[in-house]
């Protein structure tokens, strides 16, 4: 029903750029732990992990070239996951 | 009913023969049948365990087994029924058999992955059974594997957890396959809102399978890590939190209830229009209520934990969201009844099971409100009331939905018809036995009978005996139903392509369908439940 024949071919140069950014972010994740930001360390590590995930999904998994509906569906999945985590931690906050 | 012989050249049952052709089959219908046979065997095994448990409880004190055996039996009964039978059940069997035909496709999107899912399922099921007998131990932590008990006890818990983990993989792969199939392989002209409602229910289910199952997979691995590496996730002695386990377990296991029940809702939604010869009432509300149940179902898991030490704020939050689930469920019940209203109702066995579904599911739903309200749940939590509610929803809902599907699509699957009167009698035993078995458990639960107890106070003697009698009646009904269906696979009268005068696509192909379903992919030009379709008349 939904024919979709785009090939989403990306150049080696772009893939290497993305790889470089991912490596930088990985190093940053390690540095954040060394910096010891107190209670914000975990939040910062999670933020960096989220940015890396977004980049992987966008470029390596070709979401950039997909239809809006598919991108919304993937975004919806992460939103769902975030809500579930927040609800769980609300319990810990109020206990 | 007209049982004329259809022109029946090669079909999916006879286009290849031999055991190897079945074990390596990639035809979605054959894989569906492989699931059906495996699930039936496991279902009967777990049903026998259930009857043995009820016989044990028919009298006070030891009757036929020890307390430890009883603990092992209810664990095995739960693991088999939940993880091996009910969760994969309808989606794996009838989703596989019917989904591609109903959307006008020749197969699912990934036929080999489909077969792989089946073998992952079988591997998980075998692991689960092995865990019951390896090293002379049987897991006795119940199907919920609550920590800290499951993190400490020496009874093959790791094997049982690995089994559940493996079965989860099969569920994820099937869900993924169905989502891609529905997105990519609908026939030309079959827009989203021309798709029949059983595929819609499978679509909602598949999203739950795909997104919720990994949570329990990770959780079970965390328990294994805790047991083997002593990492403190859940065990307070190691600095963990047992309530976190319950959060993670129910984040999956509550949506899993909708994995069980949504396909059953889809089945009965197909049956009511066919046996009323009337378009389904409120197509769009049924579609959106399925999606709403799937979505809201993600946020209600905490109602299993009202007495676990969760915060007060979380308790009222989960209680409130739980009540919201009642709305889409009630929309469906209203639409099913309205579909029959004013229709030309033909009370055949599939419709009997579908009506029973409404009756039993409604009782299960209303008693669910008792459990969803914090104030009343405190009193009946962990009592037989919960067991009764759960069985009314799962057995009365999914189980009777499964039986309805079996009786509805049986002539399509085998090209033969079962004995109608025999099927009606079996239904009578099943429906009567079911209510005699489970209804007394509501009463005993309110009176304080705890669940999972081997023995009980003498005041529960009458209720327990009545319940045990119900179990035997139910089991007689099961045997009668299965015997009827199995016996007529080869000996039944030949069924025509469309014995029930259905209008969805599966009734437009021969019975049994050919290997790739359609010689030419059909072009869909209108909504799915239009009953002036010339195909509804026997050719």
Please state the pTM of the whole predicted model.
Answer: 0.90
What's the longest Cα–Cα distance across chain A?
53
Closest residue in A to B317 (Cα–Cα): A87
pLDDT at B538: 45
Average pLDDT score over residue span B165-194: 94
Q: Given a cut of 80, is residue B474 above it in pLDDT?
A: yes
Residues of A in contact with B314 (CB under 8 A): 87, 90-91, 94
pLDDT at B146: 83
Q: With CB atoms and an 8 Å threshold, state whether A90 touches B313.
A: yes
- Is B16 a domain residue? no
A:B CB pairs within 8 Å:
46
| Cα B529 from chain centre | 25
Report yes or no: A83 at the B interface, CB cutoff 8 Å.
yes
DSSP string, B94-110: IIHHHHHHHTT-SS-S-
Average pLDDT over chain B, rounded to an integer: 91
B4 part of a folded domain: no
Nearest to B184 among A1, A83, A84 (CB): A1
Own/partner pairs, B281-286, CB within 8 angstroms, 24+ separation: B281/B335, B281/B336, B281/B338, B281/B339, B281/B341, B282/B331, B282/B334, B282/B335, B282/B338, B283/B193, B283/B197, B283/B527, B283/B528, B283/B529, B284/B193, B285/B331, B285/B335, B286/B197, B286/B200, B286/B331, B286/B332, B286/B335
A1 touches chain B (CB under 8 A): yes
Question: What is the pLDDT of chain A when averaged over all its residues?
Answer: 86
Give DSSP secondary structure letters for A23-81. HHHHHHHHHHHHH--TTHHHHHHHHHHHHHHHHIIIIIT-GGGS-HHHHHHHHHHHHHH
Nearest residue of chain B to residue A77 (CA atoms): B211
For B494, the 3-state DSSP assignment is strand
B412 closest CA partner among B337, B353, B344, B496: B496
Residue B9 in domain: no
pLDDT of residue B131: 84
Q: What residues of A are in contact with residue B317 (Cβ under 8 Å)?
A: 87, 90
Q: How close, in Å, is residue B113 to chain A by CA atoms?
A: 20
Chain B closest-CA separation from residue A13 CA (Å): 31
CA distance B207 to chain A (A): 10
Relative orientation angle of helices B28-56 and B461-491, to the nearest 10 degrees: 150
Domain ranges of chain A: 10-61, 66-95
What span, in angstroms and rounded, lies between the C-alpha atoms of B371 and B376?
Answer: 6
Give yes or no for B247 touching A (CB within 8 A): yes
Q: Is A69 on the interface with B (CB under 8 A)?
A: no
Indicate if the pLDDT at residue B444 is higher than 80: yes
What DSSP assignment string belongs to B178-211? HHHHHHH-PPTT--GGGS-HHHHHHHHHHHHHHH
Residue B19 belongs to a domain? no
Cα distance between residue B456 and residue B318, in whole Å: 32
**Which has the closest alpha carbon to B372: B329, B434, B333?**
B329
Which of B251, B297, B303, B306 best tests the A interface by mutation, with the highest count of A CBs <10 A? B251
Interface check for A94 against chain B (CB to CB < 8 A): the answer is: yes
As to burial, measured by CB atoms within 10 angstroms (0-12 exposed, 13-18 middle, 19+ buried), residue A92 is middle
Q: How confident is the model at residue B56 (pLDDT cuts 50, 70, 90)?
A: very high
* Side-chain-side CA neighbours of residue B79 (13 Å): 31
Give me the residues of B, 178-237, that contact A with CB < 8 A.
183-188, 190, 211
User: To the nearest whole angstrom, how far is the Cα of A95 from the nearest Cα of chain B?
Assistant: 5
Better pLDDT: B310 or A37: B310
* Residues in Cβ contact with B386 at an 8 Å cutoff, skipping those fewer than 6 apart: B371, B380, B445, B451
- Residue A6 is predicted with a pLDDT of 55
Task: Tell me what pLDDT residue B155 has.
Answer: 67
User: For chain B, what percent of residues have pLDDT higher than 90?
Assistant: 74
Q: Among B32, B35, B29, B36, which Cα is nearest to B14's? A: B29
Q: Residue range B87-102: average pLDDT?
A: 95
Cβ distance B299 to A83 less than 8 Å, yes or no, reads yes
Residue A7's pLDDT is what? 63
pLDDT score of B535:
46
Residue of B nearest to A95 (CA): B311
Say how many domains are in chain B.
1
- What mean pLDDT comes out for the span A6-16? 80
Model confidence at A41, pLDDT cuts 50, 70, 90, reads confident
SS3 label, residue B233: coil
Q: Domain of B360? A: 28-536
CB contact under 8 A, A1 and B185: yes
Q: What is the DSSP letter of B507?
A: G
B494 beta partners: B416
Nearest CA in chain A to B215: A81
Q: Which residue has the higher pLDDT, B138 or B510?
A: B510
Q: Judge whether B32 and B96 are in contact, CB under 8 Å.
A: yes
- pLDDT bracket for residue B231 (50, 70, 90): confident
Residue B365 belongs to some domain of the structure: yes
The verdict on B260 touching A (C-beta cutoff 8 Å) is no
| Chain B nearest-CA residue for A4 | B184
CA distances from B493 to B279, B489, B538 (A): 29, 9, 16
In this complex, do A1 and B190 lie within 8 Å of one another by their Cβ atoms? yes
Higher model confidence: residue B227 or residue B151?
Answer: B227
CATH number of the structural domain spanning residue B180: 1.20.210.10
Give the pLDDT confidence score for residue B506 in this predicted structure: 96
Asked if A94 lies within 8 A of B312 by C-beta distance, the reply is yes
Residue A22 has pLDDT above 60, yes or no: yes
User: Is the Cβ pair A1, B311 closer than 8 Å?
Assistant: no
Query: Which tops the pLDDT comparison, B121 or B218?
Result: B121
3-class state of residue B11 by DSSP: coil
Q: Does A77 touch chain B (CB under 8 A)?
A: yes
ipTM for the complex shown: 0.81
Cβ separation A95–B302 shorter than 8 A: no
CB of A73 within 8 Å of a chain B CB? The answer is no
Percent of chain A at pLDDT exceeding 90: 31
Handedness of CA B91, B92, B98, B104 (dihedral sign): positive
Residues B219, B245: Cα–Cα separation, whole Å? 7
Residues of A with Cβ-Cβ distance to B187 under 8 angstroms = 1
Chain A environment of B184 (Cβ under 8 Å): 1-2
User: Chain B closest CA to A92's CA: distance in Å?
Assistant: 7
CA-CA distances (angstroms) from residue B329 to A81, B172, B401?
A: 24, 25, 15
HEC string of B170-184 equals HHHHHHHHHHHHHHH
Report the residue of A3, A69, A87, A90 to disrupt the B interface, i.e. the one with the largest count of B CBs within 10 Å: A87
Residue B162: the pLDDT is 85
Percent of residues, chain B, with pLDDT higher than 70: 97
- Measured CA distances, B73 to B52, B78, B144, B154, B344 (Å): 9, 8, 14, 16, 46
| pLDDT category of residue B537 using cuts at 50, 70 and 90 | very low
pLDDT in tens, B279-294: 999 999 999 999 999 8
Q: Is B187 within 8 Å of A1 when comparing Cβ atoms? A: yes
The pLDDT tens digits of the residues spanning B340-397 come to 999 999 999 999 999 999 999 999 999 999 999 999 999 999 999 999 999 999 999 9
């Amino acid at each position: 029903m939904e024919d979709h024949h785009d090939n989403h071919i990306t150049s080696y140069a772009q893939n290497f750029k993305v790889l470089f950014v991912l490596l930088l972010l990985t190093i940053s994740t390690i540095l954040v732990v060394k910096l010891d930001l107190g209670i914000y360390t975990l939040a910062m590590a999670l933020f960096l992990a989220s940015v890396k995930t977004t980049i992987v999904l966008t470029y390596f998994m070709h979401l950039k070239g997909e239809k809006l509906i598919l991108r919304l569906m993937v975004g919806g999945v992460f939103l769902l996951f975030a809500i579930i985590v927040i609800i769980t931690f609300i319990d810990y906050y109020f206990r | 009913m007209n049982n004329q012989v259809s022109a029946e050249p090669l079909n999916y049952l006879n286009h290849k023969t031999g055991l190897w052709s079945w074990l390596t089959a990639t035809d979605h219908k054959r894989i569906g049948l492989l699931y059906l046979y495996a699930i039936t065997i496991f279902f009967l095994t777990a049903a026998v365990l259930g009857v043995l448990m009820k016989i044990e409880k028919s009298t006070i004190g030891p009757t036929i087994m020890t307390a430890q055996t009883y603990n092992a039996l209810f664990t095995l009964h739960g693991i088999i029924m939940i993880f091996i039978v009910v969760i994969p059940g309808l989606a794996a069997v009838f989703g596989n058999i019917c989904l591609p035909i109903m959307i006008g496709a020749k197969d699912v999107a990934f036929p080999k992955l489909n077969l792989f899912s089946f073998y992952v399922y079988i591997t998980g099921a075998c692991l689960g059974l092995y865990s019951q007998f390896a090293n002379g131990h049987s897991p006795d932590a119940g199907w919920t594997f609550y920590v800290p008990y499951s993190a400490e006890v020496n009874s093959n818990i790791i094997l049982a957890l690995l089994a559940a983990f493996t079965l989860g993989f099969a569920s994820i792969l099937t869900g993924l396959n169905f989502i891609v199939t529905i997105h990519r392989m609908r026939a030309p002209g079959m827009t989203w809102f021309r798709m029949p409602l059983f595929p819609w229910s499978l679509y909602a289910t598949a999203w739950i399978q795909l997104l919720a199952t990994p949570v329990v997979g990770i959780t079970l691995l965390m328990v294994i890590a805790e047991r083997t590496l002593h990492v403190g996730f859940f065990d307070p002695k190691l600095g963990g939190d047992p309530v976190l386990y319950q959060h993670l377990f129910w984040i999956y296991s509550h949506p899993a209830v909708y994995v069980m029940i949504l396909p059953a809702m889809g089945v009965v939604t197909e049956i009511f229009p066919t046996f009323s010869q009337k378009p389904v009432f409120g197509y769009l509300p049924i579609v959106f209520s399925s999606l709403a149940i799937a979505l809201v179902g993600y946020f209600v898991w905490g109602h299993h934990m009202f007495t676990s030490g969760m915060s007060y704020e979380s308790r009222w939050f989960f209680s409130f969201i739980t009540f919201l689930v009642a709305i889409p469920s009630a929309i469906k019940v209203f639409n099913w009844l309205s579909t029959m209203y004013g229709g030309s109702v033909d009370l055949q066995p599939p419709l009997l099971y579908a009506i029973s579904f409404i009756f039993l599911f409604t009782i299960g739903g209303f008693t669910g409100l008792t459990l969803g309200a914090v104030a009343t749940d405190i009193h009946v939590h962990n009592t037989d009331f919960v067991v009764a509610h759960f069985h009314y929803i799962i057995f009365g809902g999914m189980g009777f939905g499964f039986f309805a599907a079996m009786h509805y699509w049986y002539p399509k699957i085998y090209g033969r018809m079962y004995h109608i009167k025999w099927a009606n009698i079996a239904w009578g035993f099943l429906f009567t036995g079911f209510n005699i078995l489970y209804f007394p458990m509501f009463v005993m639960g309110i009176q304080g009978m705890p669940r999972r107890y081997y023995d009980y106070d003498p005041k529960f003697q009458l209720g327990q005996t009545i319940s045990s009698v119900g179990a035997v009646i139910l089991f007689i009904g099961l045997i009668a139903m299965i015997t009827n269906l199995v016996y007529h696979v080869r000996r039944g009268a030949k069924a025509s392509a469309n014995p029930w005068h259905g209008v969805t696509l599966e009734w437009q192909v021969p019975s049994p369908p050919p290997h790739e379903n359609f010689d030419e992919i059909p072009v869909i030009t209108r909504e799915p439940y239009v009953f002036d379709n010339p195909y509804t008349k026997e050719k």
